Structure 1
Amino acid sequence: MNRLEEIRQRRAELRAMLEDTTQLNLNLDEIETELRALEAEETELERRTAILNTVPAATTVPVPVAEQRTQGAEVFDSMEYRNAFMQYVMNNTPIPAELRQNENTLTTDIGAVIPPTVLNKIVQKMENVGMVLPLVTNTNFKSGLAIPTNNVMPVATWVAEGKGSERQKASLGNIQFGHFKLQCRVSISLETSVMALSAFENMISNNVSKAMVKAIENAIINGTGNGQPTGILKDAAAGVKVDVKDFDYATLVKAEAELPVEYEEGSVWVMTKKTFMNIAGMTDKNGQPIARVNYGMGGKPERSILGRGVLIVPYLKNLDAAAVGDIVAFIYRFEDYALNTNYQIGVKTYEDNETDDIVRKSTMICDGKPVDTSSLVKLAKKA
């Protein structure tokens, strides 16, 4: 029994004595003095315990197995772990063993899990900075699990009174997510020896989110599926292809006509800024511009072609730089693309023996695949 338990037990005994009306000869002054002393000692012990818990490398107090925290999320989100994580990244100080009890869930080359507080900032920044990432469907399935996808839209039919419609059987396909690693280097200045926790966490979230979002978005569009997610444009046979030698009104109308009406909602044009500006100068036979640019409440341009929104990305080639057969623009409904990740990002610190540099590497596990390509209309450069 530790001292705190002894104090609480003694206070309970004194309370029982006071509640017992049969005891008439109690020394109330002594009881009151003892209670105040016990309360003061208890407050002091609780304060010492609270201070001790904030020390990152507090390993002098053994942690009994029965009292170890079993919930990894609670451990990783504690102030104790956040401070230990900062010391690990900044000074390569090992994280205490009691804070790494769930390390077996990580891949072999991850040194430490980014705390959930910082991770939430990273995900939020990725969604704010990214152009494509906020539009796709995020999932959290286990690797190797086959996910069924419905390939047939049910059709309603008119029937006579007293009769029922024919039962429709939907054919089901499936997609299977892999286990790919995405890595980036976390830039930390070695000259920074003292840094506040809030500043450190903000720096980590900025560096990781900027690097990760570019790689993920490029993979969503152009991914090969080999060691990385499968891109929307990976399958040459997917969707409808429209050949284009020069952008003109007829070509854009033809591409719009290929988009099925049931995929109208949510589908957007995707192209580079240079491609859009070439289209922006085009007019129809009445002199009306085909592409329009409006400025929203935040001052950001809102682009559209034939009334459909335009997503400007740096992950395609413009018509002049593209080779014959390259996709220079496309229409797609991004909610039909599934990005599978648990957003558990780890950091490993190591020394490059050739350059003597301290490298801080961030790793995330993810995969992605287009679930439905029925809304895909591709514009390919024609010879």
Structure 2
Amino acid sequence: MKFKTVAEAFNFYRTQTVQQIETRAQEIGQLINTDANANIQELNIELDGLKEAKANHEERSQLQDKLKTWTPIAGASTQTTELPTDADAILKTPEYRSAFFKSLQSKPLTDIEQRAYKAVMEKRAAFGTQATLAAVLPTQTHNEIIQKARGLRALVTASRNFSIPAKLSVPVIGPQSAATWHAEGAPVEGSDVDPVSVNFNAYELIKIFSISASASAMALDSFESYLTGELANCLLDAMEAALATGTGTDQGAGLSSITFNTTNSMTFAVSPAFEDFVATAALLKSGYGAGASWAMNFSTLYKQVYSLTDANGRPLFIQNAAIEGAPAYLLGKPVILSDSIADDTIYYGNFGFMGYNLFNVMVETSRESSFKSNLIDYRVTAVADCKPIVSEAFVKLSKA
């Protein structure tokens, strides 16, 4: 058959199989080699049409393969058939995210979701000693929890977050003496730098809560939103409390674990005065004041601080009431409000020298433990610790 244009040849062959297209191409090759009278121009047109028809057939075949494995999930990106080879990278994929929440709802998983879930669980089994059924939170969900904490004007917001999946040692070096003027030729004595390490241990945080079995009927996005909120409340409320009052024994150490005496604290009898705040601020060692903040609970703020004024009648506490969430200041320094701090206790210091480490967040589910109540139990665990990195970065004003 003769073709005047490549389009004509393409339209003729596009409905034929790849085998038929390749057979015709071989026939044209033999004609060119054996027939001296063959019309080379017409054969070239036909070959171009065959080439385009074969390419079109291959593209359609690839598209059909994608459609076979395409499973749209509400709120998640379109799934693919390929997964990263590293389990940590799989944690960031939408496939593992949907598999994680489907498994908690006892919903069936697609093939690629099963592969993603299995890859993370195999690494989890090799990593820790807890139950291998514990599901590690998807990266996106873990980030959403931290974002919720960042919305709070609290200690977890101001303190340094490491999020390193291991025990952590932070070296701290004290300030060195100033350089000395040197007389030419005179000997100079060296000085040693002796860093002290602050160690963050691996304590367990745990919380068990129950959800009605009707949660299994929730849409995936709704269930994730609900579970994320519960996780944020459970883990970060505990971390907030530890940053304030943790003892350091089988738990994180907080501000209350610092040894306060006459060199780094002040007291007041009934209510603090303007002079008490000035004197307390003066106790903080030079160098820490540049990034210092005041920290107290809401009750202390409104009962003891809110109405205070200086000698000229100017208020100590300043807040932009016209803008919700605007920073508040006391003597020109930001105020951190946390209900975990004890009443009538006010801290002043640089909270960049307060740290916490929160990692390995996991969720397990059980339908047997609350079988009679038609509830599903969820156990949330994490490994965490917190403590003041440099104790001298904080001073205290409290009721005697």
If the length of structure 2 is used for normalisation, what is the TM-score? 0.74
In the alignment, the residues of structure 2 paired with residue 20 and residue 264 of structure 1 have an alpha-carbon distance, to the nearest angstrom, of: 89
Q: Which runs of 5+ in 1 are unaligned?
A: 1-6, 57-66, 320-327
Distance in 1, matches of 2:260 and 2:26, equals: 82
Paired residue type of 2:237: K
* Secondary structure of 1:73 counterpart: helix
Give the aligned partner of residue 115 of structure 1: 138
Which consecutive residues of structure 2, in runs of 5 or more, have no partner in the other structure?
1-16, 36-42, 74-81
| 1:91 counterpart (93, 103, 106) | 106
CA distance in 2, matches of 1:340, 1:9: 62
CA 1:365/1:269 → structure 2, altered by over 3 Å: closer, same or farther?
same
Separation of aligned partners in 2, 1:179 and 1:33? 66
1:36 and 1:262 mapped to 2: Cα distance? 74
Match of 1:44 in 2: 61
> 2:12 maps to which residue?
none
CA distance, structure 1, for counterparts of residue 379 and residue 307 of structure 2: 45
Listed one character per residue, the Cα deviations across residues 162-196 of structure 1 (whole Å, up to 9, x for unaligned) are 36865332221112221122233566553244444
Which one of 81, 103, 121 corresponds to residue 124 of structure 2?
103
Which residue of the partner structure matches residue 148 of structure 2? 125
Q: 2:286 aligns with which of 244, 261, 268?
A: 261
Larger radius of gyration: 2
Structure 2 residue aligned with 1:337: 354
The amino acid across from 2:265 in the alignment is K
Greater alpha carbon shift after TM alignment, 271-280 vs 139-148: 139-148
What pairs up with 1:144-293 in 2 under 5 angstroms? 144-150=167-173, 152-160=174-182, 162=184, 166-185=189-208, 188-237=211-260, 240-246=264-270, 247-277=272-302, 278-293=304-319
Identity of matched residues, %: 21
Whole-angstrom distance in 1 between the partners of 2:384 and 2:206? 11
What is the DSSP-based 3-state SS (H/G/I as helix, E as strand, rest coil) of the residue aligned with 1:182?
Answer: strand
Which runs of 4 or more aligned residues in structure 1 lie more than 6 Å from their structure 2 counterparts after TM superposition?
7-22, 24-28
Query: CA–CA distance in 1 between the matches of 2:220 and 2:28?
Result: 49
Residues 197/285 of structure 1: CA separation in 2 closer, same or farther (3 Å cut)? same
User: How many residues of Structure 1 are paired with residues of Structure 2 in the alignment?
Assistant: 355
AA paired with 2:340? Y
The 3-state SS of whatever aligns with 2:255 is: coil
CA distance in 2 between partners of 1:44 and 1:355 (Å): 51
Q: Mean Cα displacement is larger for which, 21-30 or 139-148? A: 21-30
Would the aligned equivalents of 1:157 and 1:165 in 2 still touch at CA under 8 Å?
no
Code of the aligned partner of 2:258 = D
Distance change in 2, residues 1:23/1:339 (3 Å): farther
Higher alpha-carbon deviation: 85-94 or 123-132: 85-94
Change (3 A) 1:121 1:20: farther
Question: Aligned equivalents of 1:14 and 1:226: distance in 2?
Answer: 82
Cα separation, 2, equivalents of 1:335 and 1:16 = 74
Higher mean displacement: 238-247 or 10-19 = 10-19
Q: Quick check: which one's helix share is greater? A: 2
CA deviation map 1:52-74 (0-9, x unaligned) = 26489xxxxxxxxxx98531133
Quote the offset at 1:377 in angstroms.
Answer: 0.9
Counterparts of 1:8 and 1:260 in 2: how far apart (Å)? 81
1:80 aligns with 2:80: no
1:349 has 2:365 as partner: yes
CA distances 1:209-252 after superposition (whole Å, capped 9, x unpaired): 23322111111111122332111221335872222222122322
1:348 and 1:279 map into 2 onto residues whose CA distance is 45
**Worse-superposed segment, 230-239 or 17-26:** 17-26
**Cα RMSD between the aligned structures?**
3.8
